[in-house]
């Protein structure tokens, strides 16, 4: 990802907003336990997940399990005690990702970087605990894989647009 892409991401995070109509839409689409996963994310992750959802819908996606997964796919970026990952840690993690060895080293030293690095697996565990269907759990678990397939590949494609 280019530096200009990351700057656009940061600006979008700072300006993030979710309308009452969007919260109502998400509440209609997601069962209560999944909606709680959406709600516990910080506003900028909620906005991002909505943007990913809208990208899939605009591309003609109609798979309800994939669309549900899109709405909370970054839920694993919340700490074990329910605190969202601060935006500053996102910036640090995305910069460090340019140097994989340094990124992995930092993830061992800094718990927030570890949360970011492991957020797909963490999110899959949270989705499983929330009672999500196995298809959603596996989609979230694998959407950051180097070569995902099926729903995870489609989620990765949409996620990479934002």
Domain residue limits, the chain: 3-159
* Ordered per-residue pLDDT tens for the chain, 162 residues: 556 666 666 666 677 789 999 999 999 999 999 999 999 999 999 999 999 999 999 999 999 999 999 999 999 999 888 888 888 898 899 889 889 999 999 999 999 999 999 999 999 999 999 999 999 999 999 999 999 999 999 999 999 998
pLDDT of residue 94: 87
CA neighbor of 56 nearest in space, from 38, 35, 71: 71
pTM: 0.89
Calpha distance 5→10 (Å, rounded): 9
112-130 pLDDT, tens digit per residue, is: 999 999 999 999 999 999 9
pLDDT of residue 14: 72
Using left for φ > 0, alpha for ψ between -120 and 50, and beta otherwise, residue 131 falls in left
141, two tokens: 């678990």
Q: Counting beta carbons within 10 angstroms of the beta carbon of residue 36, is it exposed (0 to 12), middle (13 to 18) or buried (19 or more)?
A: middle
Q: Which residues pair with 78 in a beta bridge?
A: 84
CA neighbor of 116 nearest in space, from 71, 154, 148, 79: 79
Please provide the DSSP assignment of 38-80 as one string. HHHS-HHHHHHHHHHHHHHHHTT---HHHHHHHTTTTGGGB-T
HSE-up of residue 83 (Cα within 13 Å, Cβ side): 8
Calpha distance 162→51 (Å, rounded): 7
């Amino acid at each position: 990802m280019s530096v200009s892409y990351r700057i656009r991401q940061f600006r979008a995070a700072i300006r993030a907003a979710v309308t009452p109509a969007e919260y109502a839409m998400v509440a209609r689409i997601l069962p209560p336990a999944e909606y709680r996963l959406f709600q516990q994310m910080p506003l900028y992750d909620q906005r991002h997940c909505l943007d990913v959802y809208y990208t899939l819908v605009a591309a003609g996606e109609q798979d309800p399990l994939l669309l549900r997964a899109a709405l909370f796919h970054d839920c694993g970026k919340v700490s074990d005690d329910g605190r969202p990952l601060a935006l500053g840690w996102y910036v640090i993690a995305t910069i460090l990702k340019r140097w994989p060895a340094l990124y992995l080293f930092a993830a061992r030293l800094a718990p927030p970087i570890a949360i970011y690095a492991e957020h797909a697996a963490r999110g899959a565990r949270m989705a499983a605990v929330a009672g999500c269907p196995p298809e959603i759990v596996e989609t979230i678990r694998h959407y950051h894989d180097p070569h995902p397939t099926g729903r995870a590949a489609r989620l990765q494609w949409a996620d990479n647009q934002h």
